[in-house]
Structure 1
Amino acid sequence: MRRAAVVALSVAATLLLAGCTSTDKLAVDYGSGAGTSYTDDSGAPVIVKASDRAKAISFTSKDETGTTVSMAGFLGKVVVVNFWYAGCAPCRAEAPILNSLHSKYASQGVAFLGVNTVDQAATARSFEEQYKVQYPSAMDVDSGSVRIAFAGAIAPTATPTTYVIDTKGRIAARIVGQLESASILNTLISDALAEGK
């Protein structure tokens, strides 16, 4: 029993150290512009080169008003998908950033879609009214269909998580954690728009 505890502690320490190494590598790769295939929860984006992108995301869900939403309805557009829920403090903090970018890019055909992972529709609508959210949210608490569609190598590992989807419906970038400012997401949206031209 004691030996098993020592082995478990050793494995945990190794994983912890490996995580530090991974984060250090992330910082170097991101700073140099070289890292495009890593996953990290530090807030730095995961960027997927067009040639490395998996197949298009596919799901159908209902939004907070009961209207059907699906990725098929967004094909041909750059889409920003934000996983959130009302009790999430970082989600509340980043709402103005998402709203400002939604307003900035609405005339350029960029779509925004929230994915509420916890709340029922009434709670989601209350949040959206309070924070003046102008785009719909898929209500994913009961079916989990949107989370399933995003499962894989760059799945949403925390809430909030924000994705930029290219015009072919494929994941182009992911940011895990609170958006601290508009700048990184703004750049990712601009890059995705430029690709589509």
Structure 2
Amino acid sequence: MTSRMKKTIASIMVAGTALALSACSPTDPATEQFLNGGNSGYITDTYQVVEIPESQRGEPIVFEGETEYGDAVSSNELLGDVVVVNFWYAACGPCRVEAPVLEAVHQEYKDAGVSFIGVNTSDLADTALSFADNFGVTYPSILDVKTGEVELAFAAVAPMTATPTTIILDKQGRAAARIISAVPDESILSTLVRELTEES
């Protein structure tokens, strides 16, 4: 990790936590649980950004599923792209906070060999579609609530002890970076993505 990135991470951790707290609707049950210290699956002091050296990335992660639009998607068809995989669900307050951040980076890199795919761990299609419409998310999400197979495929890299979690795959489909908890700022994700697009 570059010294510049370390400084960026350090400077926005507090801001990201404050953003997650301030942007959530106090009337949302999941958000209220989060604010009151309940077991919401999101803990602010677990925020981490981890880069995995190329020599330690292991095997490609193999997954497949169906999106909220009814389309099939698989890791095989994404090979050659850097792939940002975001685990989320609609009632997750921090997932709502990070949604515009993810979408902004998606728009920045969508024509540069970078694919974004969500993995919804709790919702059916109507709820996922409503979330995408409300928060302006244009990339699809695999609905993993029935089988949990996508979550299982990623478990060795980042067990889902916190939601949201974002995994970035290199062009070979290997886990190259992970962000545990909400992505608080575009700069970290954009930097991670850019560095991976520049790999040979």
TM-score tier (shorter): 0.7 to 0.9
Q: Say which SS state the counterpart of residue 91 (structure 1) adopts.
A: helix
- Residue aligning to 2:139: 135
Q: SS at the partner of 2:177?
A: strand
Residue 83 of structure 1, aligned match among 87, 90, 94? 87
Query: Segments of 4+ in structure 1 off by > 4 A?
Result: none
**Aligned-partner Cα distance in 2 for 1:137–1:172:** 20
Return 5+ residue gaps in structure 2 as ranges: 8-44
Cross-structure match for 1:100? 104
The 3-state SS of whatever aligns with 1:108 is: coil
Structure 2 Cα separation of the partners of residues 60 and 163 of structure 1:
15
Distance between the aligned counterparts of 2:128 and 2:135, measured in 1? 11
What do the CA deviations read for 1:107-144 (whole angstroms, capped 9, x no partner)? 10200000000001110000001111110000000011
Distance 1:153 1:167 in 2: 17
Q: Quick one: distance in 2 between partners of 1:79 and 1:133?
A: 16
| Superposition map of 1:15-26 within 5 A | none
Higher RCO (CA 8 Å, separation ≥ 6 residues): 2
For the 8 Å contact 2:157–2:175, the answer to whether it is kept is no
Q: What is aligned with 1:51?
A: 55
**What SS does the aligned partner of 2:191 have?**
helix
Cα distance change of structure 1 residues 87 and 190 upon mapping to structure 2, 3 Å threshold: same
For 2:72, which of 68, 75, 81 is the aligned residue? 68
Corresponding residue pairs, total: 160
Larger Rg belongs to:
1
The change in CA–CA distance for 1:54 and 1:64 in structure 2 (over 3 A counts) is same
Q: TM-score, normalised by structure 2?
A: 0.76
Could you list the per-position Cα deviations for residues 48-96 of structure 1 after superposition, in whole angstroms to 9, with x for gaps in the alignment? 1000001001011100011111111100000000000000000000011
1:122 aligns to 2:126 (yes or no): yes
Q: 182, 185, 192: which one pairs with 1:188? A: 192
**TM-aligned CA distance change 1:60 to 1:153, over 3 Å:** closer
Please, which moves more after superposition, 110-119 or 65-74?
65-74
Distance in 1 between residues matched to 2:174 and 2:157, nearest whole Å: 13
Query: Which amino acid in structure 2 is aligned with residue 102 of structure 1?
Result: H
